[in-house]
Structure 1
Amino acid sequence: MMHAPVDHFRPLAGRSAWLLTTGAAGMDVQTRGLADALGLSYTLKPIAPKGIYKLLSPWGPVAASERFGEAGAEFAPPWPQVAIALGRTSVPYLRALRRHSPATFTILMLDTRAGTGAADAIWVPQHDRLRGENVIVTLTSPHSFTPARIEALRRTMPDEIAALPGPRVAVVLGGRNGSYKFTASDDARLAASLSSLGALGVSFMITPSRRTHHRLFNVTEAATRGFPRILWDGDGPNPYPDFLAHADMFVVTGDSVNMTGEAAATGRPVLVFHPSGGSAKFRRFHRALEAYGATRELPERVDRLPPWSYEPLHAAETIAREVERRWLARGCVHP
């Protein structure tokens, strides 16, 4: 596993870029994380193909009604020096951009089934199957919590967190998706695990996500009610960045690759709760993180706090260094 240095020459710093995604939070986290690691000056370009054009992605064209390349359209000159696209529906837009602006260096994220010729560089997480000369593979996904950002957050501890007794456990809640069901018994199982952790003398820092369903939030609230805690209920700014920086340990629901990867950027122990369901890709992801030493499965009853450490995982930095190398190798030195 490669770990890139933080301080280095950044040949793409300040260069113009478009980020092409549907605007979903999980997608923007990944494209912006990479763009920030490269130091790009970027513009978000949300895409929203409809009907047959969405169905035909990644192989079909951009709808003529979008007037791609025409003056006054959303996708028109001046063309960016770099484009980062994520997901199947972004590929037609990336293909159209390459036709109009061959000098634009293109980066495609995830295995979209469009093949290795779809972009100059392609990033996939290790649990995706695509491989090739221009394919960059990392264990976790890119995100905005760089080593420098985590270090800066750790320099100042909010009073509310400082008042919590240690060890502090950050509980990061996801929710149902296309792979995980989160049955009532799943939610009760998580509650039992959290209660047993509380009995060991920990304090909790709890944050839900957009997908967290009411029952999961409610059982988590009830299970941790008798212990020192901070419970974010969606009112006001999300304290998640400070939770990430100051937690001594994490409990993360296994439905989110992004949240698990962000916790693994800290070097602190990560206990993963596995709800019912899952998929082969999720299983490959979690097995790989366990093999690396970042995570362990959350038991239904925690009898002791299992301390361990590992080299933090910073996928955005690793991907950025590979992109820079390929940019320079292609001779992309124009201003």
Structure 2
Amino acid sequence: MGVFLFSYCEIYAAACLSTARLTAVTTEPERSHDEEGARVGNGAAGVLRGKRAWIISDGKAGHEIQMLGIAEALGVDAEIKPITAPGNLYKLTAPYGPPPVGARFGAPGSSFAPPWPAIAFATGRLTTPYIRALKRRAGMQTFTVILLDPKTGQRSADLFWVPEHDTRRGANVVTTLTSAHRYAPERIAQLRAKMPASIAALPTPRVAVLIGGPNGDYRYGPDETARLARALEALARSGAGLMITASRRTPPDLLDAVDKATETGQRFFWRGEGPNPYPDFLASADAFVVTADSVNMVGEAAATGRPIHVFHPAGGSSKFDRFHAALSEKGITRPLDDGRGLESWNYEPLDSAHIIAREIERRYAARLKMIPGLCQDGGCE
């Protein structure tokens, strides 16, 4: 699953991460991949609003972004809880076994001491021992959620989330097509309404070009570099306004080729200097060009409901293939064609954080109904 964790916010963590403590906002879903959204009954909506949440973090910004996106959709008061720097033995044994001794899990004065939160999230195998320990100690007081598949048993958490292209399934597993993120419809609308002058000055259609790079599954050789450069050169000649950004995975030769191919067009080419314009690129775009190697960047673009043209470099994998096939079948993405140019189409924006949050609320409300008095006497804060 590691190759699926690259997103722009993971690459530029400082620009995307918020403070360690925040009060989130709320935002509806699907419990199965065939439904538009799961209906929340019995007053479940907002049942966790204002309650405390732990974001158990391994320090990877891409992991934190997913957890914070759901926390914001729930309206909880979330606190990031960094894990103790793992030693070699812990790295070898995780996700199994206990948290490291140095974490002093549950001890007074430690980062992981009572009072226990109403809900806790973990993502990645290094955080899994922590949330398993929390589940044992807090019992039913804390609703535990693991994002992505740590390859542990179903009892490791109350709820698992995995993307649809993953294979894990079960009674306590919820799936969505794209990953959770922090681009709720309200935020996108607010950003678009406050479009920076440097972006507003670009001609329309404004096209956000989100470039990743090689990973364990995709390769960018000379042929792929030339193919992407030709497509972007055609866009630049068409008069579209280009908003271009790359990642730390982008090879210098690919970046140079993109620079040269688009230099005659009207563009905003961000090279990592100054404030990160990625949120504004996302909200202001009339269309997207995204490389297939980043599931998260494709998913963030899909939150806008605007056309996504996907560039496929060499390689791929069965998981990536399932992901991109599902998006194409739902009319969300089309392949980038350097001869056809931009196409226009619409689809319902994807809001996976909202879907996951509503399922958490439904299950949490059922727990409260099943155990009267659970949140009395200081529990479920």
Normalising by structure 1, report the TM-score: 0.94
Preserved CA contact (<8 Å) 1:141 1:316: yes
Q: Does the residue aligned with 2:144 lie in a helix, a strand or coil?
A: strand
Tell me the CA shift for residue 298 of structure 1: 1.2
- 1:54 maps to what in 2? 91
Mapping 1:85-104, distance limit 5 Å:
85-102=122-139, 103-104=141-142
Question: How many residues are treated as equivalent by the alignment?
Answer: 332
Q: Does the residue aligned with 2:232 lie in a helix, a strand or coil?
A: helix
Query: Whole-Å Cα distance in 2 between the matches of residues 60 and 176 of structure 1?
Result: 33
- 1:42 maps to what in 2? 78
- Structure 1 residue identity aligned to 2:81: K
Which residue of 346, 354, 366 corresponds with 1:329? 366
- 1:20 maps to what in 2? 56
Return 314-323 or 23-32, whichever deviates more. 23-32
Q: CA RMSD in A?
A: 1.7
Q: Does 1:78 align with 2:115?
A: yes
Q: What do residues 82-127 of structure 1 show as CA deviations (whole Å, max 9, x unaligned)?
A: 1011122221111111122111110110111113221111111100
Tell me the CA shift for residue 210 of structure 1: 3.3
Which residue of 324, 349, 352 corresponds with 1:286? 324
Tell me the CA shift for residue 4 of structure 1: 7.1
Q: What do residues 39-78 of structure 1 show as CA deviations (whole Å, max 9, x unaligned)?
A: 1111111224321221112222222232211122232222
- 1:10 maps to what in 2? 46
- Structure 2 residue identity aligned to 1:141: S
Query: Whole-Å Cα distance in 2 between the matches of residues 77 and 90 of structure 1?
Result: 18
Preserved CA contact (<8 Å) 1:4 1:317: no
Which residue of 200, 204, 217 corresponds with 2:255? 217
- 1:149 maps to what in 2? 187
Return 168-177 or 210-219, whichever deviates more. 210-219
- 2:279 maps to what in 1? 241
Return 323-332 or 52-61, whichever deviates more. 52-61
Query: Whole-Å Cα distance in 2 between the matches of residues 266 and 31 of structure 1?
Result: 20
Tell me the CA shift for residue 158 of structure 1: 1.7
Q: What do residues 233-279 of structure 1 show as CA deviations (whole Å, max 9, x unaligned)?
A: 11111111111111111001111111000000111000111122222
Query: Whole-Å Cα distance in 1 between the matches of residues 160 and 260 of structure 2?
Result: 44
Normalising by structure 2, report the TM-score: 0.83
Structure 1: tracts of 5 or more residues without a match: none
* Larger relative contact order (CA 8 Å, sep ≥ 6): 2
Tell me the CA shift for residue 219 of structure 1: 1.4
- 1:316 maps to what in 2? 353
Q: What is the percentage of aligned positions where both structures have the same residue?
A: 52
Q: What do residues 272-320 of structure 1 show as CA deviations (whole Å, max 9, x unaligned)?
A: 1112222211111111111111111112x23242111100000000110
Q: Does the residue aligned with 2:218 lie in a helix, a strand or coil?
A: coil
Q: Does the residue aligned with 2:174 lie in a helix, a strand or coil?
A: strand
Which residue of 272, 295, 304 corresponds with 1:257? 295
Tell me the CA shift for residue 165 of structure 1: 1.0
Query: Whole-Å Cα distance in 1 between the matches of residues 239 and 133 of structure 2?
Result: 57
Q: Does 1:302 align with 2:339?
A: yes
Q: Does the residue aligned with 2:259 lie in a helix, a strand or coil?
A: helix
- 2:266 maps to what in 1? 228
- Structure 2 residue identity aligned to 1:128: D
Query: Whole-Å Cα distance in 1 between the matches of residues 64 and 226 of structure 2?
Result: 32
- Structure 2 residue identity aligned to 1:293: G
Mapping 1:116-265, distance limit 5 Å:
116-265=154-303
Query: Whole-Å Cα distance in 2 between the matches of residues 4 and 237 of structure 1?
Result: 38
- Structure 2 residue identity aligned to 1:22: D
Preserved CA contact (<8 Å) 1:196 1:303: no
Tell me the CA shift for residue 183 of structure 1: 2.2
Query: Whole-Å Cα distance in 1 between the matches of residues 143 and 358 of structure 2?
Result: 15
- Following superposition, which runs of at least 4 residues in structure 1 exceed 3 angstroms of deviation? none
Tell me the CA shift for residue 230 of structure 1: 0.5
Structure 2: tracts of 5 or more residues without a match: 1-34, 376-380
Q: Does the residue aligned with 1:330 lie in a helix, a strand or coil?
A: helix
Query: Whole-Å Cα distance in 1 between the matches of residues 325 and 340 of structure 2?
Result: 23
Preserved CA contact (<8 Å) 1:3 1:314: no
